[in-house]
């Protein structure tokens, strides 16, 4: 983790290492979740400090922040691959969706007036398979 911070040009600090560790692996985590992971190692860290650390990680390109409408912001370390997200309106599960054509940007807008697109970020809202199965089960009960 320290090496990744250095590579990204960030000063190596214990809270930054702990936050990167908390974000490692697949999935998306709220600032609160990162905060509780960081404070289990560094009990004196404040939530405010964790927000600062997360902002620094995002600025340095080590983490990505997604801001689903109506939910707390989520952070992940899967960066730079132009992937999208699907979010269940019922249970709020957030899953990664790979880029539609495998390279950035994967969407061609119909009217961009010469605008050069570098990134397309899509959020698919709907109902996850588990919630659909649950509601089918409830309806037939
Ligand atoms: Zn669901
Ligand atoms: Zn993601």
Give 135 Cα–ligand 1 centroid separation in angstroms: 10
Give the span between the Cα atoms of 53 and 109, in whole angstroms: 35
**What is the domain-level CATH number for residue 94?**
3.30.1490.190
CA angle 53, 25, 121 (to 5 degrees): 75
- pTM confidence score: 0.85
41: burial class by Cβ within 10 Å (0-12, 13-18, 19+)? middle
Nearest ligand to the C-alpha atom of residue 28: 2
**Residues 81-111: tens digit of each pLDDT:** 888 999 999 999 999 998 766 666 777 788 8
pLDDT given at position 141 = 74
121 pLDDT more than 90: no
Which residues, chain by chain, have CB under 5 Å from ion ligand 1?
88, 90-91, 93, 128, 131
Residue 90's domain comprises: 81-140
Nearest ligand to the C-alpha atom of residue 78: 2
Give 133 Cα–ligand 1 centroid separation in angstroms: 9
63 and 123 share one domain:
no
């Amino acid at each position: 983790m320290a090496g990744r911070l250095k590579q990204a040009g960030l000063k190596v600090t214990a809270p930054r290492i702990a936050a990167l560790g908390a974000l490692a692996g697949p999935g998306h985590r709220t600032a609160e979740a990162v905060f509780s992971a960081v404070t289990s190692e560094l009990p004196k860290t404040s939530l405010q400090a964790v927000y600062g650390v997360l902002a620094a990680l995002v600025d340095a390109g080590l983490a990505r922040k997604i801001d689903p409408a109506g939910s707390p912001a989520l952070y992940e370390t899967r960066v730079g691959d132009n992937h999208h997200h699907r979010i269940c309106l019922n249970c709020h599960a957030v899953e990664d969706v790979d880029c539609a054509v495998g390279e950035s940007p994967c969407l061609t807008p119909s009217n961009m007036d010469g605008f050069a697109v570098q990134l397309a970020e899509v959020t698919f809202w709907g109902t996850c398979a588990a919630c659909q199965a649950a509601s089918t089960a409830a309806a037939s009960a």
